[in-house]
Structure 1
Amino acid sequence: MAEKPKRPLSAYMLWLSSAREQIKKDNPGIKMTEIAKKGGELWRAMKDKSEWENKAVKQKDEYTKLVQEFERNGGSKDAGRKKSKGARKAAPKKSRNKDSDDDDEESGEESD
C-alpha cells in the first residue's frame, strides 16, 4: 500500500524555500537559525502575499484530492501519523519511601 501523502507547505514555507538563498547572499555567514528569523521578519513586512497564499491553496487542494484517493484505495486516516507522547500509558511509579508500612512489615518491625 502506498504511503499517505505528505501535508502541503504553508504560504510562508513556500516563500521561505524560494527566498532562503537570497537571504544567505544578503547576509554572508548567517546561521541557519538566523535565516529563519530573518525570513520571519521579511515575511511579516511583506505587503502582498497573495502569490504565495494562492500557491498554498493549490497545494492544499491537490493534497486533499490525494488523501481522498489514498483513503478510497484502502489507506487509513491514521496511516503515517505518529503517536503522541501523551497517548502512551504511563507505568506506575514504585514508592521508594523507607518509612512505608510495607517496608516495616518485611523487616519485622512494627510502626507505632
Structure 2
Amino acid sequence: MSGERPKRPLSAYMLWLNENREQIKKDNPGSKVTDIAKKGGELWRAMKDKSEWEQKAIKMKEDYNKAVKEYEANGGTDTGAGKKRKSKGAKPVKKSKKKETSEEEEEEDSE
C-alpha cells in the first residue's frame, strides 16, 4: 500500500450486481444504466437465498477491517476525513473569538 486508506468493501447486493450486470443487460437489451440498476434491485429483492453474497460481503468486511488496522498500525490516520469535518465546526468559533479580541483591543485603544 502506498499510504492510501483501504477502500470500503462492497455490500452483498453490489457484489451480486457486479457479477450479474452483464446478464441483466443481455436479458434487457437497449436498457439504460438506470433501468439495469432498477431491474437488478428487483431481482435482488426477489431472491430467496442471498447467503452466498452475504458470506462474501462478510469476508470482504473482515479483510477490510484487518487492512485498516494494519494501515493505522503503520502510521496511517483518518486525518483527511477528520480535518474536513473539524474545520467546518472550528471556523465559526475562531471567527467569533477574533471578533471578541478585536473589539476588546479597540476598547483598550480608545481609553
In the superposition, the TM-score normalised over structure 1's length comes to 0.71
**What's the % identity of the aligned pairs?**
69
Specify every segment of 5 or more residues in structure 1 that has no aligned partner in the other structure, as ranges. Answer: 91-112
**Could you say which residue in structure 1 is the equivalent of 2:59?**
58
**Could you say which residue in structure 2 is the equivalent of 1:98?**
none
Given that residues 4 and 80 in structure 1 are in contact (C-alpha distance below 8 angstroms), is that contact kept between their aligned partners in structure 2? no
**Cα deviation, residue 80, structure 1:** 5.1
The structure-2 alpha-carbon separation of the partners of 1:36 and 1:79, relative to structure 1 and needing over 3 Å to count, comes to farther
Matched ranges for 1:3-82 at <5 A: 3-76=4-77, 78-79=78-79, 81=81
Specify every segment of 5 or more residues in structure 2 that has no aligned partner in the other structure, as ranges. Answer: 93-111
**Cα deviation, residue 9, structure 1:** 0.1
**Cα deviation, residue 2, structure 1:** 1.2
The structure-2 alpha-carbon separation of the partners of 1:32 and 1:79, relative to structure 1 and needing over 3 Å to count, comes to farther
More helix as a share of residues: 2
The structure-2 alpha-carbon separation of the partners of 1:30 and 1:79, relative to structure 1 and needing over 3 Å to count, comes to farther
Paired amino acid for 1:3: E
Structure of greater Rg: 1
